[in-house]
Amino acid sequence: MEPEQNISLIEEGQDMQGYENSKPSCKFNQDHGDEENPFFRVTKREDGFLQEQEIIDACQSINTSPKKRKIDKDGFVTPATPDIPKSSCHYGQVKLMRGDGDINKEDEEYSLGEVAEQANGVLSEAGCIGVSAPSQNDQSVHPVENLIKDMSEETKNIYHQFSKVFRECEEYETACPERLDKLLTEAKALEENLNQQKQVLCNRLKGLSRTLQLL
């Protein structure tokens, strides 16, 4: 009945009592450059405590494990899963303690799989949209080209229609200075003619006044 009680204590996560003779194992760890593993505990069996050889085997398995344990900045040993030798009576008990954790991991893996499938579906839809988008753009390019051609033709027609008016305006602008000069010369000639007629009229009036004085 005692081994069953030990298993129940491990499943409940209670701390197991230490063993004073395990000090050589800690010394072994220190000599081999590995720090003391806080997850390695010693429990009672029917014949007493664990033997020192089992402790040494566990320490050697920790030292030779491909998963090297390091202490992070918070002081925790990572990875935290201890490597228990198969010769120990505690081999396989960690699986019982972590049964719920494995189920949670399976749920997480399942949820991650669903997320991955959804992401792949979204990416595939985006890929289909990305492939079909150029075809729509190609179809929309043709109306734009036709619109540009129509606008260019309309602008050409408008230019031809108003080109005559533009030419007449240019001719009028070039002819305006010449016409202005001509009008100025004509005005000067008219002024001179009027001055001459005025002078003639004044002379006649003077002649009439003289004749009247003689009478």
Residues 82-123 pLDDT 10s:
566 666 666 666 555 555 444 455 454 445 566 666 666 666
- In-domain check, residue 12: no
Mapping DSSP to helix (H, G, I), strand (E, B) and coil, where does residue 132 land?
A: helix
Tokens at 154, concatenated: 């309309």
Number of domains in the chain: 1
Domain housing 192: 146-214
Range scoring the smallest mean pLDDT among 29-33, 139-143, 154-158, 191-195: 29-33
- In-domain check, residue 171: yes
- In-domain check, residue 152: yes
Q: Are the C-beta atoms of residues 36 and 26 closer than 8 Å to each other?
A: yes
- In-domain check, residue 138: no
Report the C-alpha gap between 129 and 121 in whole angstroms: 12
pLDDT digits (tens, 9 = 90+) for 131-157: 444 455 555 557 888 888 888 988 888
- In-domain check, residue 204: yes
